[in-house]
Structure 1
Amino acid sequence: MHLTAIVAHPDDAVIFCGGTLAKHADRGDDVTIVYMTRGEYGGFDTTEADIATTREAEADAGAETLGAEAEFLDFEDGRIRYSMENRLQLVNVLRKHRPDVVLTHFRDDMHPDHRTTSRLVSDAYYMCSLPLLETESDPWEPQNVYYFGKPTSSFEPETYIDIGDYQSTKEEAILEHESQVEWLKEHGGVDVEFDGLIEDVRAENRVLGRTRGVKFAEGFVPLHKNATEYLGSM
């Protein structure tokens, strides 16, 4: 199978679904992470271009640690907008990669880029199988979309993935985002739940795991409620 995660910023995939991505890659699935932006607002005392260069390199390294391929789109950090043009760009992304399952942000999130990405991906999913809608790639119909969320939102998981064997891989991938580990220490108050990034992510995964009797877990909300073998629902 092919699993594609579409995320707003370079560290979003490793933080919210890195264990699941690593688990699927390890079982031989094709895993791709599509980054909407290069996260050029996420830093101090330097230029947007410098931050973007650093964060792209970190994202490449994080994806490699998880066993995933990486692709970058050219949206601007903090300025992702909902439009038909952008929706069609995401339609073509889905058609190009032809994923069975798509992972993306939950609709209710503090960050405007996360909310807009969620809406764009959801609507692109709806449109990408339409035979009369022409893009560079042929129509494709993913089987489902799974949303991940932040603990500050109304997100309540319905699908849980046991990542006990992959928590350490996830943390290694997070540590590749060295600039963000430091940025979030200084950026508390907005992203306060992640101001101690590794410790807080580990705690969140441990809490989710305890609800299912495993050591660590990640949680998702599926768009469709139909049963599926994908994501290894517990």
Structure 2
Amino acid sequence: MKVMTIYAHPADTITNCGGTLARHAEAGDEVVALIITHGGRIHANRYAEEWRKDDPDEAITTAGIDDIAAHKWDELRRAADIIGVHRVIGLDTDDRVASLQEHVVDLVAEQIALERPDVIICDYPLNPVVASNTHTVATTTVLAALGRTGTYLRNLDGRAEFHVKQVFFTSLPVFAADGLSLFGVRNDVFVDITPVVGRKVAAMDCFDSQGYSGLFARKLIESNNGEFGRAAGVNFAEAFYRMRNETHDLLPVTAAAVAEDPLTRHLRYSEVDLRATHP
């Protein structure tokens, strides 16, 4: 299987689904990450914080957008190597984008058509009219690009149409696991990342310029992936929301659900002390 992530900024792929990608890479699947913007202005902590010092480092305070973006891309490449991402593709568009842009849709559609992934992972679009949220703009771009790849015609475009099998959204703003109380809106797929959580920690530690390394990486994984793990009955999990329905020959009850013991599940998903294991 080929997995392709499409996110707005360099760090997004790792923070949202780095553990899942690590598991797919270990299983022998091909993993490709497409980053839409250069990400130079997003979470530029290294540069903003330097200006607050009494004697700031001139090499940092004089860095231009190309220097800042290059530093972030170096962080991403190191993180991608840890996770097992086979290829990182950058479109290098402006990260101040606030609306759907036709030329960016074309760029994303072209990469989807070239890579022909089985599944795509991207952010849940919070609200298409929230122009200040570049993650939503990025996913809106992805959805428009998917529509475009589906209408390719060799006569007109020199390539055949392409339809991805499934789209998985991350960052759905709903954490609870009870579908009855949420009127059907909830994450519907959880991936156990406990076996590779150390790799996700190490990958997040690469993003020092954003302030993601150290305690923040461990706090984020403990709180976010730990809560998803609680819902899934494991120590750490990443959660997804499927865009399309899936068809099965029989009702899909997973091996994890069959093995579930409601009496002791709270003990099982509390076995790992992340900060002690990965200080």
Scaled by the length of structure 2, the TM-score of the pair is 0.71
**In 1, distance between residues paired with 2:140 and 2:256?**
24
Letter in 2 for 1:16: N
CA shift, 1:132, in A, is: 2.7
Q: Does 1:105 align with 2:123?
A: yes
**Of 62-71 and 79-88, the range deviating more from structure 2:** 79-88
Q: 1:113 to 1:208 in 2, by over 3 A?
A: same
Matches within 5 A, 1:10-29: 10-29=10-29
CA shift, 1:210, in A, is: 0.9
Aligned Cα root-mean-square deviation (Å): 2.9
**In 2, distance between residues paired with 1:21 and 1:211?**
20
Partner of 1:119: 140
**In 2, distance between residues paired with 1:220 and 1:116?**
19
**In 2, distance between residues paired with 1:54 and 1:150?**
29
Matches within 5 A, 1:29-178: 29-42=29-42, 43=44, 44=47, 45=61, 46-68=63-85, 69-79=87-97, 81-108=99-126, 112-132=133-153, 134-135=156-157, 137-149=159-171, 156-178=186-208
Letter in 1 for 2:84: G
Letter in 1 for 2:209: S
**In 2, distance between residues paired with 1:60 and 1:202?**
24
**In 2, distance between residues paired with 1:141 and 1:89?**
17
Scaled by the length of structure 1, the TM-score of the pair is 0.84
Aligned length: 222
Aligned with 1:219: secondary structure?
strand
Contact between 1:92 and 1:135, CA under 8 Å: does it hold in 2? no
Contact between 1:161 and 1:233, CA under 8 Å: does it hold in 2? no
Report percent identity of matched pairs: 24
Q: Does 1:8 align with 2:4?
A: no
Give the one of 201, 208, 218 matched to 2:221.
Answer: 201
CA shift, 1:138, in A, is: 3.9
Partner of 1:188: none
Structure 2: give runs of 5+ residues left out of the alignment.
Answer: 48-60, 176-181, 258-279
**In 2, distance between residues paired with 1:102 and 1:117?**
13
CA shift, 1:93, in A, is: 1.1
Q: Does 1:211 align with 2:228?
A: no
**Of 170-179 and 98-107, the range deviating more from structure 2:** 170-179
Q: Which has the larger radius of gyration?
A: 2
Q: 1:85 to 1:205 in 2, by over 3 A?
A: same
